Each structure stands twice: as C-alpha cells, then as structure tokens.
C-alpha cells in the first residue's frame, strides 16, 4: 500500500508485530498539548513503563518531519514533549502535515489511523472526544467518533471526557455501529468520575472476555473499532456533581472568550486544572496509567487468541 511509504515503525515494535507479541499504541497529543514540560517527559516514561510491566511493547505515535512514526526514539519523544511548533493533528490535517513536513501530535483519531497502518490492534488513551455540549446546535463533534466507526483498532479509555455531552456521544456511537464495552462496569465512565449514568452495551468481566469480543467482531468482517470504557481507579475518582459545577464554570468562560473548535478541549482541561487546584490533572494522569495497564492485558489476551 502506498501509505506504507510514509510510515516508520521502530524495529522493536515491528519485531513484536511480526512474532505475534502484544503492542499498545499511545497518543502524543497528551504530551504536546495536555501537559507542561518537563512533567510530560516523566509521564511519557512512566506510561511506557506501565505497558512494559504488563508484558507488552509501547508504541507512541506522532508525525515528525513528513513521516508517520509508530514508536519514538528518546530524541523524538523529547521533541513532542517540548512541543515547539508541534500542531494538534486529526484526520483532516494528516496529509497537510506530512506533505509540508510539519511536526504533529496525534489525537485519538490520528493515533488509530497510525496504529492500523502499522498493524497495532490496541490503543490506550485518556478519554475520547465526542459530541460537545450544545453539539445539536453547533455540530461540534469530534472526529474520534467517525474514526471508531471505520478504523479497526480497540480503544481503551476512561469513557468520554466529562466536558462533553456523554448521552449524545453514546447515541452517535450506536448509530455508527461501534460496540461500547465496560471493563468490569455496566456504567459508561465519565473520565474523572467512575459513572456517567449512561450504560455500556456489554459489561465484560475481564480483559480476556473483551479480547474475545474484539476478535469475534473482526473475524466476522465487521470493520471498525471497539470502545472499552475503563473506570478511573476508585482512589483517584472525583465527585460527579462537583465536577459538573467546575465544568460549567469553565464552559461559561470558554463561551465568553469565544474559544471553539480544536482549541476548546485544551482550554477546558487547563481551566478545570486551575479551578480544582491540580486535583483533576492528577486524576487525569492516573486514569491514563490505568488505561495503559488494561490495554496491555487486552493486547496480550488477543495475541493468545491468535
């Protein structure tokens, strides 16, 4: 395929894929646009360590110098963490960034595309994008949802970001035929909070059961992703009503300042961090580690089934 001419896969990752060993894709937007330097360097090292501790290989994705990178060298990781002239890249931006040889951090949608190109089947993120509050008027809907419909990668997340309209997000996923599984939960998680009040399609008892459903879906030729809602660990979870109040305050400020489009999520997350005195950020970090851990277990279980 022609797209392979743009793709660089680290030898360790390619070797793992060639020998049916578990690999977990990781995004780079959380590094370049979700955390300050140098805290993001420590996070990047730790999340990779979490994946390796479960017996899988981490594969952080990024666009660097006109190349799609699946797995980053220490120097490339530093480039993404310093985030100097590093854009936030979704599906619509990929061709432009590659053709112009610009550096870009991959969102959920773009990381799924990169993972699928390389043959990586499982991806761990923090929370997916979705239908924004008021999306029925603004039509502000994340490209993540459309990517889940068409790209065959399993995505482990702590639900949808709580800043979104979670009910409409799940309705959209249902329309697109995307299975939404709960990892030991019947309630779809709400990022900082373990429950959103909305159900999942199936509450799986463990990672092996999730892997079996994923394999069966793809064996049937049903293309597209599978979304796994993995609740934030109890000790780091925040109160839903408290967070709703914080989010509404941040949303009002965004509206007042005219922040919209791809800038809205980074603005809201940064403002929520300030309002909660950093507590939300600490929760964000812990849920990302937990998702990486679960993704590695699912990737291992998938390899066994193969």
Cα(161)–Cα(190) distance, integer angstroms: 6
* Beta-strand relationship, 122-124 and 103-106: unpaired
Task: State the catalytic residues.
Answer: 27, 161
Q: Which residues contact 127 (CB under 8 A, 6 or more apart)?
A: 157, 158, 159, 160, 161, 162, 191, 287
Cα(133)–Cα(291) distance, integer angstroms: 25
Cα(69)–Cα(118) distance, integer angstroms: 9
Q: Residue 251: which of 229, 272, 236, 280 has the closest Cα?
A: 272
Cα(178)–Cα(148) distance, integer angstroms: 7
Q: Are 192 and 246 in contact (CB under 8 A)?
A: no
């Amino acid at each position: 395929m022609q797209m392979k001419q743009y793709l660089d896969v680290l030898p360790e990752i390619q070797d793992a894929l060639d020998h049916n060993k578990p690999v977990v894709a990781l995004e780079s937007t959380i590094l370049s646009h979700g955390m300050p330097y140098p805290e993001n360097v420590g996070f990047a090292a730790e999340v990779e360590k979490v994946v390796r501790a479960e017996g899988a290989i981490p594969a952080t994705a990024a666009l660097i110098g006109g190349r799609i990178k699946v797995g980053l060298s220490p120097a490339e990781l530093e480039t993404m963490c310093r985030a100097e002239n590093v854009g936030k890249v979704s599906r619509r931006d990929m061709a432009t960034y590659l053709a112009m040889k610009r550096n870009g951090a991959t969102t959920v949608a773009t990381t799924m595309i990169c993972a699928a190109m390389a043959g990586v089947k499982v991806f761990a993120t923090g929370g997916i994008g979705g239908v924004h509050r008021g999306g029925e008027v603004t039509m502000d809907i994340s490209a993540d949802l459309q990517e889940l419909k068409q790209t065959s990668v399993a995505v482990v997340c702590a639900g949808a970001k709580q800043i979104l309209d979670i009910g409409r997000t799940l309705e959209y996923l249902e329309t697109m035929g995307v299975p939404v599984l709960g990892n030991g939960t019947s309630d779809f998680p709400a990022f900082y909070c373990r429950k959103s009040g909305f159900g999942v399609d199936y509450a799986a008892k463990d990672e092996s059961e999730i892997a079996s459903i994923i394999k069966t879906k793809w064996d049937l030729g049903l293309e597209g992703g599978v979304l796994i809602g993995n609740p934030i660990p109890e000790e780091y979870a925040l109160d839903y009503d408290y967070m709703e109040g914080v989010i509404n305050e941040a949303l009002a400020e965004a509206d007042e300042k005219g922040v919209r489009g791809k800038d809205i999520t980074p603005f809201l997350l940064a403002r929520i961090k300030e309002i909660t005195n950093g507590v939300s950020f600490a929760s964000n970090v812990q849920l990302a580690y937990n998702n990486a851990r679960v993704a590695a277990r699912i990737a291992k279980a998938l390899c066994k089934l193969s």
